[in-house]
Amino acid sequence: MSLDRHLFIIFGGTGDLARRKLIPALHRALTHRGRPDAIVILGVGTRHMADVEYRTLVAEALVEAGIPGDEAHKWCRCLHYQSVADGGSVELGKRILRIEDDYDLPQNRVWYLALPPSIVEATVSSIGENGLHVGDGWKRVVIEKPFGHDLESARKLNETVHRYFEESEVFRIDHYLGKETVRNLLVFRFANSLFERAWNRDHIESVEITVAEDIGLDGRGRYYDGSGAVRDIVQNHITQLLTLIVMEPPVSMSPAAIRAEKIKALRAVPPIVPGDVVAGQVDGYRDLEGVPQSSTTATYVAIVAHVDNWRWQGVPFLLRTGKHMAKRLSRITVRYRKPPVCLFHTDGTCPGHRNQLDITLQPDEGFDLYFDVKEPGDVFAIDQIPLSVRYDDWLGELPDAYHTLLLDVMAGDQTLFVHADEVEESWRIYDAVLDPRDVKPYPVGSGGPSAAGNLAERHGLSWSAL
Ligand code: BG6
């Protein structure tokens, strides 16, 4: 993987995401690759700040992230800061040229927009209208999720972005795609013929995808209230998991081949209608700073989706996410069909269970495959036991998602980034349920509103316990 020297420009350079996630991940990724000085970072923001002040701010964040103080301060010497309040894009353009000159950089530029979604489009336009994206080297723009606010705004944002950047230069980031456990889904499915042969409607009865968080929304109320659970987690993180579960095998591992299959898979998902959704709002949410007392924003949502294609017709996909749930758990549960004939019945009942595969993405990353075994004794009594594998038993600490994804951006590998068509397809699926009307209250530390149970029951299913 080649790593050209370049300027890494971070809009939102003083923000939480940049300080807590991006810059520590950049440091780790570059140090890991033995190229700590491959990039020069330019933080961009609205605050007035001198370079030296910015370096101190970032060095503190690096230390908080566990990087030794000396190392952090030394590395931060290649950091610069430009306020757009001082002369806007024109001054920014001049500053970029000066830095590239000083460091003898070949005008390769990453534009990382670590910004609230509401100002992303205006920022792309301002980069483009001022010609900042034009240079002698390569250029790449990285845009955080959610990409747009709904289908229409996502289309418009794609149009604006494509005015100045080719699709091959656009990196729509969804950090779930950088998680080792998520990337492993491709290997799990396509390197193990054991599972893939039975990965279809003939063998699988239902699939559940849960992204439950025990944390709430302290400090994020204002942003979240304009967003809600569908935009925050379902349209992106959960849909990415769904896509990796249902997509057909790609013809190769090239980014184009993988992304083509993902887009095809999403096209087979019909729009979700309000009757397929149960929404909830956690008690106390309206007391958060920035949240109006009348807010009906959903902090929990449960959805039943379908994939209308040859492989998945008739298989319900239960999707669920929530804040302040009983525990933190991201898990894909695949429930297999029961055997066609019950041989081991006792007293007219059939004691057998369904086989079940749990793929746990976090915490406690690993796999559990549940299957039936005979209990000791002379009758055929049946019990279900798991065959379990935990990642940390053989892998130790997993790299942070941003570490992986930032290295890919710097190397120009788009495999784990979301294509324009893919992002539009995913908005299309949820467009009618982005702001659910009937939002039911649920207590902190619970499994969400009880109505979600009824939704699953309508399909003869139940949610796994939290
Ligand atoms: C972010 C959401 O994209 O993902 C947050 O905006 C959420 O609301 C976070 O808490 C969850 O990420 P992870 O990696 O902790 O599962």
DSSP per residue, 207-259: EEEEEE-S---TTTHHHHHTTHHIIIIIIIIIHHHHHHHHPPPPSSSSHHHHH
Mean predicted confidence (pLDDT) in 104-122: 94
Res. 227: pLDDT tops 80: yes
Q: Which atom of ligand 1 is nearest to the CA of 237?
A: 3
Residue 377: per-residue pLDDT: 84
Res. 248: pLDDT tops 70: yes
Hey, what are 310's tokens? 């040859």
Residue 114 Cα, ligand 1 centroid: separation in angstroms? 15
Rounded CA separation 319/453 (Å): 12
- For ligand 1, atom 13: residue with the closest CA: 176
Longest dimension (CA), the chain: 85
Residue 322 Cα, ligand 1 centroid: separation in angstroms? 11
Residue 25: per-residue pLDDT: 94
Say whether the peptide bond before residue 24 is cis (omega within 30 degrees of 0): no
Rounded CA separation 262/284 (Å): 38
Residue 394 Cα, ligand 1 centroid: separation in angstroms? 26
Res. 233: pLDDT tops 70: yes
Q: Which atom of ligand 1 is nearest to the CA of 227?
A: 6
Res. 160: pLDDT tops 90: yes
Res. 184: pLDDT tops 70: yes
Mean predicted confidence (pLDDT) in 290-297: 96
Mean predicted confidence (pLDDT) in 432-461: 95
Residue 107 Cα, ligand 1 centroid: separation in angstroms? 33
Res. 395: pLDDT tops 80: no
- For ligand 1, atom 2: residue with the closest CA: 232
Continuous segment of H or E residues that includes residue 370: strand 366-374
Catalytic residue list contains 175: no
Residue 131, Ramachandran bin (φ over 0: left; ψ between -120 and 50: alpha; else beta): left
Site to substitute for ligand 1 among 17, 174, 175, 365, most atoms within 8 A of C-beta = 175
- Of 213 and 342, more confident: 213
Res. 424: pLDDT tops 70: yes
Residue 283 Cα, ligand 1 centroid: separation in angstroms? 20
Digit-coded pLDDT (tens) for 307-326: 999 999 999 999 999 999 99
Cross-strand pairs, 432: none
CA dihedral 139, 144, 146, 152 (to 10 degrees): -20
- For ligand 1, atom 15: residue with the closest CA: 213
- For ligand 1, atom 4: residue with the closest CA: 233
Rounded CA separation 265/219 (Å): 36
Hey, what are 45's tokens? 């923001």
Hey, what are 267's tokens? 């096209």
- For ligand 1, atom 8: residue with the closest CA: 232
With bands split at pLDDT 50, 70 and 90, how would you rate the model's confidence at 187? very high
Rounded percentage of the chain residues whose pLDDT exceeds 70: 99
Q: Using a 6 Å cutoff on CB, does residue 213 contact ligand 1?
A: yes
Q: Which has the closest alpha carbon to 209: 235, 175, 241, 183? A: 241
- For ligand 1, atom 6: residue with the closest CA: 232
Mean predicted confidence (pLDDT) in 238-256: 96
Res. 392: pLDDT tops 90: no
Residue 397: per-residue pLDDT: 74
Res. 455: pLDDT tops 70: yes
Q: Using a 6 Å cutoff on CB, does residue 214 contact ligand 1?
A: no
Residue 1: per-residue pLDDT: 64
Provide the 10 A C-beta neighbour count for residue 454: 11
Q: Which atom of ligand 1 is nearest to the CA of 236?
A: 3
Mean predicted confidence (pLDDT) in 413-422: 96
Digit-coded pLDDT (tens) for 8-21: 999 999 998 999 99
Residue 43 Cα, ligand 1 centroid: separation in angstroms? 23
User: What's the whole-number average pLDDT of the chain?
Assistant: 93
3-state SS, 22-71, equals HHHHHHHHHHHCCCCCCEEEEEEECCCCCHHHHHHHHHHHHHHCCCCHHH
Mean predicted confidence (pLDDT) in 328-332: 97
With bands split at pLDDT 50, 70 and 90, how would you rate the model's confidence at 396? confident
Q: Using a 6 Å cutoff on CB, does residue 144 contact ligand 1?
A: no
Looking from the CA of 336 toward its CB, the CA atoms found within 13 Å total: 20
- For ligand 1, atom 14: residue with the closest CA: 176
Res. 369: pLDDT tops 90: yes
Residue 88: per-residue pLDDT: 84
Residue 250: per-residue pLDDT: 96
Among 80, 133, 175, 237, the one annotated catalytic: 237
Site to substitute for ligand 1 among 173, 213, 224, 285, most atoms within 8 A of C-beta = 213
Residue 310 Cα, ligand 1 centroid: separation in angstroms? 33
Residue 382: per-residue pLDDT: 85
Rounded CA separation 112/396 (Å): 30
Residue 35: per-residue pLDDT: 85
Residue 40 Cα, ligand 1 centroid: separation in angstroms? 28
Rounded CA separation 221/223 (Å): 6
Which residue's structure tokens are 């699926």? 429
Res. 425: pLDDT tops 90: yes
Mean predicted confidence (pLDDT) in 440-466: 95
Q: Using a 6 Å cutoff on CB, does residue 248 contact ligand 1?
A: no
Q: Which atom of ligand 1 is nearest to the CA of 217?
A: 8
Q: Using a 6 Å cutoff on CB, does residue 232 contact ligand 1?
A: yes
